[in-house]
Amino acid sequence: MSDEKINLDEIWPQERDFIFRPDRLKYVRRLKNSETCVFCLSAKEKEPCFDRLLIYKTEHSQIVLNKYPYNNGHLIVCPLKHGGSIFDLTDEEYMDLMKLVRLSSKLVKSVYPAQGLNIGINHEKAAGAGIPDHLHWHVIPRWFGDTNFFPIIAETKVLPETLEQSYEKLSKGLKTILDSKDKN
Ligand SMILES: [Zn+2]
């Protein structure tokens, strides 16, 4: 299957899988295999690219911009390899992943800057994972008063910047962090 034929709109879950609120998930889209998995598609890219929302990758892990962010700057950190369980990762893969969760947190706080963060995971379908077949952490910037009634009653949220703008800001911010000595 050619990557170019896959439309991200068709394989990203339309429902927002906001952490700690699995009750808001109306359904979970079933993914047949790694060929139709958004995180496997981004993992195949050698370099960061907006088309796949890939911001950064290491030997085992990647940072992806969430196509349906809860807030601007909502990042997803996941392994390069397909699989839905933390128990399938080696210690090395798990450590690499956790380092990227921390790097993503630093990135979001520095770029926006967030007053707080939601950092977390819905592990497996029963816990509300939007993409249960490919393990992923959410890193979400939060501000006091950033929740209003719209997301609660209408599953709709007005965001002040486009995905393109977020991608550009985060990519620049990441370069600044990686170029500095203090990466942690
Ligand atoms: Zn996958």
Q: What is the pLDDT of residues 44-75, one digit of tens each?
A: 999 999 999 999 999 999 999 999 888 889 99
Number of CB atoms found within 10 A of residue 171's CB: 16
Q: pLDDT tens for residues 72-92?
A: 899 999 999 999 999 999 999
pLDDT value, residue 156: 57
Contact 170, 73 (CB under 8 A): yes
- Cα 178 to ligand 1 centroid, rounded to whole Å: 26
Q: pLDDT tens for residues 90-118?
A: 999 999 999 999 999 999 999 998 899 99
Q: Does the pLDDT of residue 31 top 60, yes or no?
A: no
pLDDT value, residue 12: 75
Catalytic option among 82, 134, 136, 138: 136
Q: What is the mean pLDDT of residues 156-162?
A: 74
Site of tokens 């890219």: 45
- Cα 58 to ligand 1 centroid, rounded to whole Å: 16
Coil, helix or strand at residue 142: strand
136 tagged catalytic:
yes
- Cα 136 to ligand 1 centroid, rounded to whole Å: 10
Q: Does the pLDDT of residue 152 top 80, yes or no?
A: no
| Least confident residue range of 105-109, 127-131, 158-162 | 158-162
Residues 149 and 36: their CA atoms lie apart, in Å, by 34
Instruction: List domains and CATH numbers for the chain.
Output: 3-179 (3.30.428.10)
Contact 177, 46 (CB under 8 A): no
Query: What's the mean per-residue pLDDT of the chain?
Result: 83
